[in-house]
Amino acid sequence: MRRIVHISDLHFGNNDPSLLQPLRKAIESIEPHFLVISGDLVEHASATEFEQARDFLRTLPKPQMVVPGNHDLAFYNFPQRATVGLATYKKYITDDLQPEYQDDEIAILGANTSRVWPIRGGSLSSLQLEQLAKDFAAISDGKVRILVTHHPFDLPEAQGHRLIVGHARRAITRLAPLVDILMAGHIHLSSTGSTAMRYKTQGHAIAFVQAGTAVSNRNKGETNSFNSLRVTSAKGGSKAAIIDRFTWRVESGEFYCKCSTAFRLESEGWARVERQVKPDAPIQVEEGDATPA
């Protein structure tokens, strides 16, 4: 079993400094095997903001994977966005825009979906898609295979499709047989689900996990939050995951596990387990209790 903490949309430059210490404490208490940061580390893409983000990430558990978001290019200054691009991000955070991590149980690949234009939207190029497909195909299907981007490939039906990454259907069709879990941020709202509802890729539904905003002031109807994933795989192709959502509680001044959702790999792909899962429940999932999310 692997524990993966997933934080997103820190927005240094428009963040609440009082949340940094509690977030660090909550992450450390989980004792993650791996930490994912899915973009928008900063608000205006200034050197000062990136320095703050870098210094904070250095205090968090490692190993880590970071992918850029649309705010990691200069969001409010288009000339700077066009001429500087991700150069400041690369200088202070990482110059690896195709990060990869593997161990005996998990394989996590990251991809840059942020573009100079449109400033809010994102996309995955044909070249990126084919490289991801090639890289995932080379990974043993006994591992839980995870793709990390800033922009989501899927969202709950109620949230529509406007904020989904460009050319998402093409990407899902290509990657569905190769990827188990999609992790993203961008919209500052937490959710989990299965691509079976939107994309109908028969036999190859992917589970998606959306992180809210961890410490920013840019709340969009949801309290600051982050996710922790407990994933497992076994011989014979059995795979399962429990996603714990940690939410900020003002009264106690801490992040607490508000809810947990379980998924299991079924014959048609990843599906949500119908029965309620309590926080910190064992990751074992019983037969016959899963349904498309």
Tell whether the model's pLDDT for residue 292 goes beyond 50.
no
Predicted confidence band of residue 146 (pLDDT cuts 50, 70, 90): very high
Query: Which of the residue ranges 136-150, 163-177, 262-276 would you say has the lowest mean pLDDT?
Result: 262-276
Handedness of CA 92, 96, 97, 100 (dihedral sign): negative
> 87 is in which domain, residue-wise?
2-291
pTM: 0.93
What's the Cα-to-Cα distance from 84 to each of 38, 55, 72, 76, 115, rounded to whole Å?
21, 22, 11, 13, 12
Q: What is the CATH number of the domain that holds 166?
A: 3.60.21.10
Instruction: Note the pLDDT of residue 288.
Output: 41
Kindly state the tokens that stand for 115: 């573009």
Average pLDDT over residues 33-55: 98
Share of the chain above pLDDT 70, in %: 92
Q: Mean pLDDT over all residues of the chain? A: 92
Q: What is the pLDDT of residues 192-245, one digit of tens each?
A: 999 998 998 989 999 999 999 999 999 988 999 999 999 998 766 799 999 999
Output the CA angle 80-64-170, nearest 5 degrees.
65
Decide if pLDDT at 293 tops 80. Answer: no
pLDDT exceeds cutoff 70 at 141? yes
Give tens-digit pLDDT for 250-291.
Answer: 999 999 999 999 999 999 999 999 755 666 555 444 444 444
pLDDT of 98 > 90? The answer is yes
The tens digit of pLDDT for each residue in 184-202 reads: 999 999 999 999 989 989 8
Name the more confident of 112 and 237. Answer: 112
- Cis before residue 63, ω within 30 degrees of 0? yes
Neighbours of 48 (CB within 10 A): 12
Output helix, strand, coil percentages for the chain, rounded to the nearest 5: 25, 30, 45
Structural domain count, the chain? 1
* Closest alpha carbon to 39 in 118, 117, 122: 122
Mean pLDDT of 26-36: 98
- Residue 71, φ and ψ in degrees, nearest 5: -80, -10
User: 45-61, pLDDT tens digit by residue?
Assistant: 999 999 999 999 999 99
* C-alpha torsion sign, points 165, 167, 168, 174: negative
pLDDT at 280: 58
Q: Averaged over 165-170, what is the pLDDT?
A: 94
Q: Within 151-192, where are the H helices? A: 168-175
Q: How confident is the model at residue 216, as a pLDDT?
A: 97
Output the pLDDT for position 279: 64
For 240, phi then psi, to 5°, come to -150, 160
Query: Reading across the β-sheet that carries 181-184, which strands appear in turn?
Result: 100-102, 106-110, 144-148, 181-184, 207-210, 191-194
What is the predicted pLDDT for the residue at 157?
A: 80
